[in-house]
Amino acid sequence: MIDQRALPHTFEIFRAETSDEIAFAIKDMVVRGAPSIGAAAAYGVAISIINAEPLDQATNKILQTRPTAGDLFFAVRNVSEMIEAGMDPDMAANQYVDTIVEQCRAIGEVGAELIPDGGNVLTHCNAGALATVDHGTALAPIRAAAEAGKELFGFVDETRPRLQGTRLTAWELANEEIPHAIIADSAAGYYISRGEVDLVIVGADRICENGDFANKIGTYTKAVLAKTHEIPFYVAAPASTFDFDLKSGADIPIEERDPKEVLFVGEYRLAPEGAEALNPSFDVTPASLVTGIITDKGIISPDEIDPDELRMY
């Protein structure tokens, strides 16, 4: 897998051959983004079978890495079930990942229709190919619109504290030659209030039955700004990100990460000695702030979520 910790300065490949190495890659954010985490977990299940590791031990280890990402749990459950039903481990993992990739491609086609020619799109965190194996969720419509010949511009939130926007989204858009600019997280309201943003598209780490969803910390703020200034706010996600066992966002576990991510940039300490920090990795945006959810089957409003329509298989 691409080592996302090294980007954008170097392009490195991380090779995982055991479930321990898969768990490390997910926990340490070698791989990140809910669909990509799910893909890594799918291969982790397959690797544990191939290596004759106890499946329960391997899956428990993987499931303890990132508690908020719904795709992680979905992938482990589904690939384990496919293998237990007699499918070859390689085939089961590849089928899972291929399905995610196809859904993300379709999300791009569906979402591209929302972006006007000459439009300005704001996104938060990284929900591109790095986060989803290929195509992206929030970035898939931007890519598809650009490929269709539309002129567009991307406002890229820096996304503190891990700077996924600055490091990863900008890197992807630069590679695609799509015009964009990185902005401080706190500058989004400035551009939205000036009428310079036409719509917001973000990814999701888990979507509940009622349409509440978790995404990278700072997403809720963007949704409130969009609602206040009456611009559309869309969430893009494959079926694997929906968790129909959770009734509302109050049920989503929120990962707390190491405070050092806030206090330091790399090895350089920003904060004074003795200062403390809080570091929730995600926040929850209520369904009432969501204009629509972009899926491979079309755009749905939160009150139209139908588990039967969104089944992955």
Secondary element (H or E) of residue 297: none
SS (H, E, C) 221-269: HHHHHHHHCCCCEEEECCHHHEECCCCCHHHCCCCECCCHHHHEECCEE
CA–CA gap between residue 162 and residue 282 (Å, rounded): 12
From residue 48, how far is each of 72, 77, 83, 215 by CA, in Å? 16, 14, 11, 29
- Which residue from 288, 132, 302, 223 is spatially nearest to 310, judged by alpha carbons? 302
Secondary element (H or E) of residue 132: helix 129-132
Q: Are strands 152-157 and 119-123 parallel, antiparallel or unpaired?
A: parallel
Residues marked as catalytic: 205
- At 276, the amino acid letter reads E
- Mark residue 116 as left, alpha or beta (left: phi above 0; alpha: psi -120 to 50; beta: remaining): beta
Residue 286 preceded by cis peptide, ω within 30:
no
